[in-house]
Structure 1
Amino acid sequence: MAAVKAGESTTAASEKATHGAAPKSPGRQNPVLRVVKASDPLALAGMIIILAAWYVVTEQGWVRPVFLPAPEQVFRFAEAHFLESRLVQTQNLGDGGILENLIYTTTSVWLAVLLAIIVAVPIGLASARVQFLRMFSDPSLLTLGAVPVLILMPFFLVWFGVSRNGQLLLLVLVAVPIIYVYAQRAVTNLDPVYAQSALVLGVGRVRLIKDVYLRGTLPEILGGVRIALAGSWSIAAIAELMGAPQGMGRLISTFAANTNITGIFATILILAIVATLTDITLKAVFMFANRWGSVNK
């Protein structure tokens, strides 16, 4: 008996050595590790190079401080005026500091992108399978996506004035065509074998949409959301430059009117950091949604 057990143990050990340990479920990956993987080392290296070049240029005095302030000067300004700022308050841009305007812009961007998702994803998914719907949605939405934003802005300023509603609608109109195209392509690129296998197993229409189409297309749709979100930051700032009660764009416009170059750089730097962190977070969500695929391999 002991000899038989010893033989079985030897066989099991041999098989384990040959085939290796059982693969870990990708869904169990540490969330912190997922965020680290989502960060792009090359992008981080690029930011470090830009900061280093900025420091060298200002330290050597190749550009006058009135045109290009030193990095430490910009960081000090951002720290001093971030939470509360008399300079910001005297310009009627809120009762706080840069943070209050940052929240205004961030809220506008996220709200507009969420509204665009609600509108564009269902139309994009349906138009990929319903040719009649696609005949109407493609010309209108693709034409809208081809219109330059700077051409639309004066019309929105006339129609809605200096209000948040006009800015939100402009951001939605910019994001909808992008997300629509990605949602449509996601269904088109989805391997039909998944839907066919589900139908063979007797899956109903509701479960087919939920478990096959939505899960299978989610990674590509999230890719479109990332692109729409990245573009929305700059569009929001430009829209606020033309007129807004507050926001990062309005803050830049006010600092420019007062020739406060340090304030302009600090505002742009903070907005860039928030946009980058948002993209990293969204990329981590993308990796989680596609953990069953090849993105983590």
Structure 2
Amino acid sequence: MSHVFDNLPLPAAAGATGPDRAAPRKPARRPLSRNRLLLISWLVPAFVLVVWELAARAGYLSIHVLPAPSKVAATAWRLIQEGRLISDMGTSLLRAATGFLIGGSIGFALGTVVGFSRLAEALFDRSIQMVRAIPFLAMLPLVIVWFGVDEGGKIFLVSLGVMFPIYINTVLGIRQVDPKLLELGRVTGLGNATLIRRIVLPGALPSILAGVRYALAVAWLALVIAETIATSSGIGYLAMDAREFLRTDVIVLTIVVYATIGVASDAVARLLERRLLAWHPNYATAGGSR
């Protein structure tokens, strides 16, 4: 009977592949566009605002504890019409920008020197790390003794806070430059100045810009502490004055202003990254979603 089974098809072997056995391919998923990613990033904050507003209107949140976003917005509009909010924001921005420029320049200069020289590291790094460990509030009485209640003390605290992130990331960036690139530059006859300008600083730039982003956040943190010193202008003064009169809506407004300025400054720092690091493959490929 063997000839009966001669014409029957043989079963396919396990794992056999062919045109009729090939597994269907899933269509490749297209990456989300930049505009969609931007929209998604704002969905959670918008949802929080809606829940917050509904909870306040339903009476679950007391106006003296956490006023509704609509109440905060109305307070902001009233202060803008009075000219107070814009003036105080301008004062705080000027203090933060001045402190950032001073502290950032000092941090970058020290980080560059320490990054290139082990002797400079032995001379400066230990002292810098000790000062970095001191909280802002602990230094506040001494700053008042040194500078009084003038603008100098506020700018000093912001400069001090900004200096450390830029210093640390500059040192880290210089130390992480690929030694093979340095050797290649020396073999091709580049002098020390050209080597630094064309290889070391571009290689350290991603780390330095990360320090800039972190320093921007620290600048506002230091400014909040600095504006608790006797002052008559600034967002911090607006918050302290509101605390005396239990104006919760104004206090929440100042928090929102700090958060908004922080998001805006971080967006500027990201734009700077995309501009200055367009040559970097990691930033070039991620540029659409950053």
Write the distance in 1 (CA, Å) between the matches of 2:39 and 2:92.
Answer: 25
Q: Is the 8 A contact 2:104 2:159 kept in 1?
A: no
Out of 48, 51, 54, which is 2:52 matched to?
A: 54
Q: Is the 8 A contact 2:153 2:226 kept in 1?
A: no
The 5 Å alignment of 1:180-199 reads 180-199=167-186
- Aligned residue identity for 1:271: Y
1:296 aligns with 2:284: yes
Q: Which residue of 1 aligns with 2:62?
A: 64
- Aligned residue identity for 2:217: A
Show structure 1 runs of 5+ residues with no match: 1-32, 86-95
Show structure 2 runs of 5+ residues with no match: 1-32, 286-290
SS at match of 1:243: coil
Q: Which residue of 2 aligns with 1:147?
A: 134
1:112 aligns with 2:110: no
Q: Which residue of 2 aligns with 1:242?
A: 229
1:172 aligns with 2:172: no
Shift of the 75–249 alpha-carbon distance from structure 1 to 2, 3 Å rule, reads same
Displacement of 1:45 in angstroms is 3.7
Q: Is the 8 A contact 1:125 1:184 kept in 2?
A: yes
1:232 aligns with 2:219: yes
Out of 136, 148, 159, which is 2:123 matched to?
A: 136
Displacement of 1:177 in angstroms is 1.8
- Length-normalised TM-score, structure 1: 0.79
Query: Runs ≥4 in structure 1, deviation > 6 angstroms?
Result: 36-40
Structure 1 window deviating more from structure 2 (237-246 vs 61-70): it is 237-246
Quick one: percent identity of the two aligned structures?
A: 24
Q: Is the 8 A contact 1:195 1:208 kept in 2?
A: yes
Structure 1 residues 42-69: Cα deviation after superposition (integer angstroms, max 9, x where no partner): 4x34422332332132122112112221
Write the distance in 2 (CA, Å) between the matches of 1:120 and 1:62.
Answer: 48
Bigger radius of gyration, 1 or 2? 2
Write the distance in 1 (CA, Å) between the matches of 2:279 and 2:213.
Answer: 20
After superposition, the CA RMSD in angstroms is: 2.1
